[in-house]
Structures are given as structure tokens and as C-alpha cells.
Amino acid sequence: MTDALVIVFVKNIKLGTVKTRLAKTIGDFGAFEVYSELVKITEKATERLDFDKRIYFSNSVVDTKWQNDFKTVQNGVDLGERMLNAFKDGFEAGYKKIVLIGSDLPDINSNHITKGIEALDENDVVFGPAEDGGYYLVGLSKMEASIFINKPWSQSNLLDETLQELQKRQVSVSTLEPLNDIDTYEDLIASGFYKSNLKLQEKIQQIND
């Protein structure tokens, strides 16, 4: 067991349930293909980390993903409660530094995650800001439950509101470089991930012809 833990939140890749905002433009099949590729990127970014990992699926464990890592199912009524419970599990297991990421980031790599863990040597909390006003990474060196309670999930003021609350309570916070996740068609076509993935472009073109 390492003193640091990386938690990955993954939605089960099921048609009609992933990337629903994106699906409004490119359809359920297109959104399914995009999210499948993003999960592969996340798996690659985490596979060589020198930290323990726990993979939390949205509905059911998928044995073919993250084959050598601890896998379980998220527990809670909303995203905040699910993340809070995952952090509680980690701290109760004895980890000193915990970082949680999602699985829809085309540009994430192991360096982002490692820097998140390292930031917790000097800070209580670390965030990786997303360009839509949320965050793609959150890390804690001690439990800060307020981060996950009564927050405007999926809104553009999520990170700002969270940071303001932590500042008032004099909690030390570090931030990493911003990254863009893929939520909309505009996000998708602007991303280097899509521009460089000709197979994915062809699949989406065929689906929508």
C-alpha cells in the first residue's frame, strides 16, 4: 500500500447514458464512440502511476478495464455524495493523500495526476480546473466534506464558489493547469484529441451520414 491513492470515476459505457449533451448533436452512437476513446485515454494515463488506484464505476464493475486494480461501484444520490463517499473510503483505509479524476479528459496524462498528489505535500486541497468552470481533478490531504455538499454541479460557477468557501475557512488550496473536458460538439471538434483521431472522425461521419 502506498500513502497516496488515485480514484478514477468512470461511467459505465452504455448506449444512451454517456455524454448526453454531446449526443444531442452527434447521436447516442457517436457519443458512445467518443466516451469509449476517452476512457481508453484515462486508463493509459493511470496505468503506470506509482500510487494505488481505485476505480469507481457508475453502475457495475467492468472486469476488462483496469484489470489489476481495485474496482467498485459509486455510492450516493448525486455526484457530490458519490465523491465524498469515495474519499471517506480512502481515508478510512489509511491513505494520506487522495486525488480523484473523471474519465472524459482528452489531454490528461500521468504528470497531471502526479502533480496533484505532490501538491498535497504542502496543501490541504488541490484542484485541476476545467475550462467550463468546474474541475477535472480534486485532491485532499485531509477530509474537507464541504467541497462535496450543496454545490452547483455542472454549472460554470462550481469551482469559483468552492474556492471562495475554502478561502473563508482558510483552507490551503493549490491549482493545476486548466484542461478542457468534452461535453459538447464544440468541445469535441476543437480538441486535438478529435482532430488527430481519424478513425473516430470516420466513425462519427458514418453514423451521421
Greatest mean pLDDT among 14-23, 158-167, 179-188 lies in 158-167
β-bridge partners, 99: 6, 139
**Closest listed residue to residue 195, CA positions, set 19, 37, 17, 28:** 37
Q: How far is CA 85 from CA 18, 40, 173, 194, in A?
A: 22, 25, 21, 34
For 45, other C-beta atoms within 10 Å of its C-beta total 21
| pTM for this predicted structure | 0.93
Q: Locate the domains of the chain by residue range.
A: 4-208
β-bridge partners, 100: 7, 138
Which whole number is the average pLDDT over 75-88?
96
**Closest listed residue to residue 144, CA positions, set 180, 110, 168, 108:** 168
Cβ 146 vs Cβ 165: under 8 Å: yes
| Edge-to-edge order in the sheet of strand 125-129 | 70-73, 52-57, 4-10, 97-101, 135-140, 125-129, 173-175
Cβ 179 vs Cβ 130: under 8 Å: yes
pLDDT score recorded for residue 27: 87
Q: Which of the listed CATH numbers 3.90.550.10, 3.50.50.60, 3.30.70.3270, 3.40.50.2300 matches domain 4-208?
A: 3.90.550.10
pLDDT score recorded for residue 209: 67
Higher local confidence (pLDDT), 182 or 111: 111
Which whole number is the average pLDDT over 94-119?
96
For 2-52, the pLDDT digits (tens) are 899 999 999 988 888 888 888 888 888 889 899 999 999 999 999 989 999
**Closest listed residue to residue 45, CA positions, set 110, 96, 102, 129:** 110
